[in-house]
Amino acid sequence: QISDPEACDQMYESLVRIHTNFYKNKYPRLKDTTFTGVTLEDCRMILATDILKQMEDMKKGTWKRLREKFSAKKPEEDSK
């Protein structure tokens, strides 16, 4: 048995409002952004594989980047 049926009904109604997006419909957002201010398109761009590769390159240390840059053959050297 439920000791306080009135409190139980209030909690149930609250859960129903959350489930049915009552507050989302009551207070619509002006812009479709996240709490950080990033839009959906920005999130998709960030999650793209090319961007992930660029971010991995940014995480590399300066010396490692320089070593990779100078260890690769330059096309000008091949033509001479």
Domain-located, residue 79: no
Count CB-CB contacts under 10 A for residue 22.
Answer: 13
Inform me whether the pLDDT recorded for 75 exceeds 70. Answer: no
pTM of the model: 0.39
Domain-located, residue 77: no
Alpha-carbon gap, residue 30 to 75, rounded angstroms: 52
Domain-located, residue 19: yes
In 3D space, the residue among 13, 9, 34 whose CA is nearest the CA of residue 22 turns out to be 13
Q: Are 65 and 57 a contacting pair, CB within 8 Å? A: yes
Domain-located, residue 78: no
pLDDT in tens, 17-50: 999 999 889 988 777 767 777 777 777 777 777 7
Q: Which residues contact 45 (CB under 8 A, 6 or more apart)?
A: 51
Domain-located, residue 29: yes
How many separate domains does the chain show? 1
Alpha-carbon gap, residue 53 to 46, rounded angstroms: 10
